[in-house]
Amino acid sequence: MRRGLGGRDVVRLCLVVLLLFVFACGETVVYHNLTEKDANEIVVALYNAGIEAVKKAEKLQNEVVWSVAVDKKYIQEARRILLEQNLPRKEEPGLCGIYKEKQIVPTPDEQKARFLCGVKGDIVNALKSIPEVADVSVVVNMPTPEEFAKDTEKRPTASVVVKVVPPPSGESVINESKIQQFVANAVEKLNPRDVSVVISYVSSPLQKKSVIGLGPTGTGVSTSNTPNSASGEMVKVMGINVSKESSARLKIYLAVFVFILIFLAGAMILNVIRTSKVRREIEALYSGSSGQLIGGSGEDRPRLEAGGEEKR
């Protein structure tokens, strides 16, 4: 008699099919061991280039690190973009990093470094409070006063790099002279002319999204040459907004998943039918054998001849 699929066989079959489905829809990790800030920068850079990327959290020695993964067919393009944009950016330790840990007896250099880090932090926090400012980097240099004064005394200097997102109106309140004056007021004996300022203007994320949305109507222009940036049109698949090119891939994944569910459901129904059939056969055999044991056969019983005596 042929035995049907057992419960363990169905579970194993489900695991095998799910593993095949996962590998078919697999992604490749572009970068490991990232901070969350670096992972966000990489995801945004790839998105602007037309490549969808996801960041994943990983636990490494009681510390949470991040990785970024993309579709397998875009892995080489993603690596090229990261190399061109020098991502993730490696930051060299400054005074605040070198003197991060406090010493029991601080040296004069350590005290001065901590003071400069405090001044730098105040300037950065104040400039970041302006809505148009996206990022700020400040370097302050304050010479140590000499015991014997000289005619040419060294003056403090500062350098500021500001990343600005211009408002929709196009009129920014941030300019070089205002930053020079602000930093000079924050540092003692600092002349505004000794403050070097570099202002970098970046496009607003909202403006970039609107341009991508207008591309298919013919009013927008796409300047990216990456493989996934040919169309920014969004379509709905089962109530989910996805890009037009990704919708085909999503439909294939959903079709495979539905086929797997139907196959597993059919296997389970077939297993139940076979189990019920085997159970009925066993019950029929058991009831037949029980009747023979209780009643016996008619040939084995003693017969009575005419006259009522038993024939021996």
Structural domains in the chain plus CATH codes:
96-144+154-201 (3.30.300.30)
Rounded Cα distance, 271 and 276, in Å: 9
More confident call, 264 vs 214 = 264
pLDDT (mean) for 70-81: 90
Mean pLDDT, residues 140-145: 88
More confident residue, 256 or 243: 256
pLDDT at 212 over 60: no
The reported pLDDT for the residue numbered 43 is 93
Q: What pLDDT does residue 224 have?
A: 40
Please, which pLDDT band fits residue 110 given cuts at 50, 70 and 90? confident
Question: How large is the average pLDDT for residues 152-176?
Answer: 87
pLDDT number for residue 145: 78
Pairwise CA distance, residues 220 & 222, whole Å: 7
Which range scores top for mean pLDDT: 96-100, 170-174, 300-304?
170-174
Does residue 303 surpass a pLDDT of 90?
no
Pairing of strands 195-201, 240-243: unpaired
Beta carbons within 10 angstroms of residue 45's beta carbon: 19
Place 98 in a pLDDT band, splitting at 50, 70 and 90. Answer: confident
- pLDDT band of 178, cuts 50, 70, 90: very high
Q: Is the pLDDT of residue 55 over 80?
A: yes
Q: Are 34 and 7 in contact (CB under 8 A)?
A: no
Between 248 and 293, the more confident residue is 248
Q: How far apart are CA 52 and CA 11, in angstroms?
A: 34
Query: Which pLDDT score is estimated for 15?
Result: 61
Question: How far is it, in rounded angstroms, from Cα 58 to Cα 44?
Answer: 20
Confidence (pLDDT) at 149: 65
For the cut 50, the answer to whether the pLDDT of residue 32 exceeds it is yes
- Cis peptide, bond prior to residue 192, ω within 30 of zero: no
Distance from C-alpha of 274 to C-alpha of 250, rounded to nearest angstrom: 36
pLDDT at 111 over 70: yes
Mean of the per-residue pLDDT values of the chain: 76
Stretch 244-266: mean pLDDT: 80
For residue 270, the model assigns a pLDDT of: 86
What is the tens place of the pLDDT at every residue in 187-197? 999 999 999 99
Q: Which residue has the higher pLDDT, 159 or 312?
A: 159
pLDDT band at 146 (very low <50, low <70, confident <90, very high): confident
- Separation between Cα atoms, residue 121 and residue 187, nearest integer Å: 12
